[in-house]
Amino acid sequence: MSEILPNKLYLGSLYDVENINWLLENNITDIISLASDIDFIGLTNLLEKNNINHHIFKIYDDSNENISELFLTLFKIIDSANIICVYCSFGISRSPTVIIAYLMYKHKMFLDDATKFVLKSRNCIFPNDNFLMQLFKFEKELFGLISFTHDKYGIAKYKNMIHSYK
């Protein structure tokens, strides 16, 4: 589990959110699930038994998924929660995409700065190419400027930035 914003926002994997003791010790009040291939019934029962709200979004980590259409809904959940964890299966692509977009939106960070901010806490992030293109477009919508071109060269430059940061 990686703390992104102190006492507010965490980024993790399925393994992390199944650790109920850690969730309780850190006063997690809400969980956002961004996955498609897990037992939501079992996890929801575990979380609800411990008074943790579970927000489920069945998202695939593939080239056809439009995660950006959920950004504003997810941001509202994050803002309304006391202490929240956003996770996907491995905490590498879907959940970092949402966290990066949230930082861009809420904290007015450009894409490169938001990515580096997340990398400080979780160095294994690697949004898929489809999600990167959506982040590129989101940055353009927010700021009218772009950190990366909206093509394969921009994707390559972004990935090089991630690799060089590690």
For residues 151 and 91, what is the distance between their CA atoms, to the nearest angstrom?
Answer: 25
* 114-156 per-position pLDDT tens digit: 999 999 999 999 999 999 999 999 999 999 988 888 888 999 9
Residue 166: pLDDT over 70:
no
pLDDT 10s digits, 50-104 = 999 999 999 999 999 999 999 999 999 999 999 999 999 999 999 999 999 999 9
CATH fold for domain 2-165: Protein-Tyrosine Phosphatase; Chain A (3.90.190)
Domain ranges of the chain: 2-165
pLDDT at res. 39: 78
Residue 74, SS3 per DSSP: helix
What share of the chain has pLDDT > 70, as a percent? 99
57, 33 Cβ separation under 8 angstroms = yes
> Which stretches of 26-165 are DSSP H helices?
40-49, 71-80, 94-106, 111-121, 129-143, 152-165
Cα separation, 13 vs 35, in Å, equals: 10
- Return the pLDDT at 118: 97
- Helical packing angle, 94-106 and 71-80, nearest 10°: 70
Between CA 7 and CA 91 the distance in angstroms is 19
Which residues are annotated as catalytic? 88
Name 153's Cβ contacts closer than 8 Å, sequence gap at least 6.
none
